[in-house]
Structure 1
Amino acid sequence: MPTTDPTLTFRPATRDDLPAIVALLANDPLGAQRENHVLPLPRSYEDAFAAIDRDPNNELVVVDTPEHRVAGVLQLTRIPHITYQGGWRAQIEGVRVASALRSSGIGRQLFLWAIERARAAGCHLVQLTSDKARPDAIRFYEGLGFRASHEGMKLHLDRPVRD
């Protein structure tokens, strides 16, 4: 297993990191459409952070560099399943690296850290989804060894369901 860069610090996000995390999530074309980065932050972000923070199977993780606090973020969720003989899997969501630091290797290091964390927790696989409008992200994930082995679908519950 490749080791991570010793100049990077991977740590659980704190409540004080929340504005920086939302700013990262909002800083791309898709995130700008769905996030609400205003100060003070909407209560929904506080509530979500509190729920993640108290759930032992969820981790909201940030990476700091010597020059940049909250240089990146991801959420790692461990999920028990009946399939794979009662195996656990890890889901990675909400991945962002500060725009000025993209292509610097921080995203790769963040993923290597998360994959090792999932392995250490006994997960048998790591899964993620990526919007098809993000071809660069998809190439990045493929470069880490992820494969589009399944067709993923989502149903937004705030929209009408077709008859």
Structure 2
Amino acid sequence: MTDLDIRPATPDDIPAIVALLADDPLGAQRESPDDLTPYLAAFERLDTDPNQHLVVAVRAGRVIGTLQLTIIPGLSRQGATRSLIEAVRIHADERGSGLGGELIQWAVDTSRRLGCQLVQLTSDKKRTDAHRFYERLGFTASHEGFKLSL
């Protein structure tokens, strides 16, 4: 994918990122592409935090993928730093092209470069295709996740 650029997101990318987040049955229930105000405020918080890496994949000037990588220092595992991959989305026209693997590889390489000893991610239980994708990339379903809405 030589014509692909994976780069930090900018405020101008927010409409395309939100559209990607909303472009599936689960995201359509959670996202509001018609009001970008909360997303722009969130972007400002992310942009000022050195442990947050919101990136976009761009081809021919078009945002076709995104993910967020969070670096988490910790005490467990002998003081290991880990990373968390979230909000991986690929434009519908690009699914199956290898772009998802490229984005995940970027996240793994960046995690390694930043001294992480572990890369983790969560995926909604309904996203069975995504689970197979992550397993093909070497991830294992080693934990059960829990959430509490506030």
**TM-score, structure 1 as length reference:** 0.89
Look up the match of 2:86: 93
Deviations 1:32-89 (A, max 9, x none): 0000011xx34211111000000000010001123x5111000000000101111100
SS of corresponding position for 2:63:
coil
* One-letter amino acid of the structure 2 residue matched with residue 47 of structure 1: A
1: CA distance, partners of 2:103 / 2:144: 25
Deviation at 1:20, TM superposition (A): 0.4
What pairs with 1:44-59 in structure 2 (closer than 5 Å)? 44-59=38-53
What pairs with 1:60-139 in structure 2 (closer than 5 Å)? 60-66=54-60, 69-139=62-132
**How high is the sequence identity, in percent, across the aligned residues?**
57
Deviation at 1:6, TM superposition (A): 2.6
> How well do the aligned residues superpose, as a CA RMSD in angstroms?
0.9
* One-letter amino acid of the structure 1 residue matched with residue 63 of structure 2: V
Q: Where does structure 2 lack aligned partners over 5 or more consecutive residues?
A: none
Deviation at 1:7, TM superposition (A): 2.1
Deviation at 1:117, TM superposition (A): 0.5
Q: What is the aligned counterpart of 2:11 among 12, 15, 28? A: 15
Look up the match of 2:142: 149
1: CA distance, partners of 2:57 / 2:76: 32
**TM-score, structure 2 as length reference:** 0.97
2: CA distance, partners of 1:154 / 1:59: 22
2: CA distance, partners of 1:133 / 1:25: 16
Q: Where does structure 1 lack aligned partners over 5 or more consecutive residues?
A: 158-163
Report which of the two structures shows the higher radius of gyration computed on alpha carbons: 1
2: CA distance, partners of 1:129 / 1:148: 9
- Equivalences, count: 150
Deviations 1:108-142 (A, max 9, x none): 11111110000000000100000000000110011
2: CA distance, partners of 1:54 / 1:30: 28
1: CA distance, partners of 2:97 / 2:137: 15
* One-letter amino acid of the structure 1 residue matched with residue 45 of structure 2: A
* One-letter amino acid of the structure 2 residue matched with residue 123 of structure 1: C
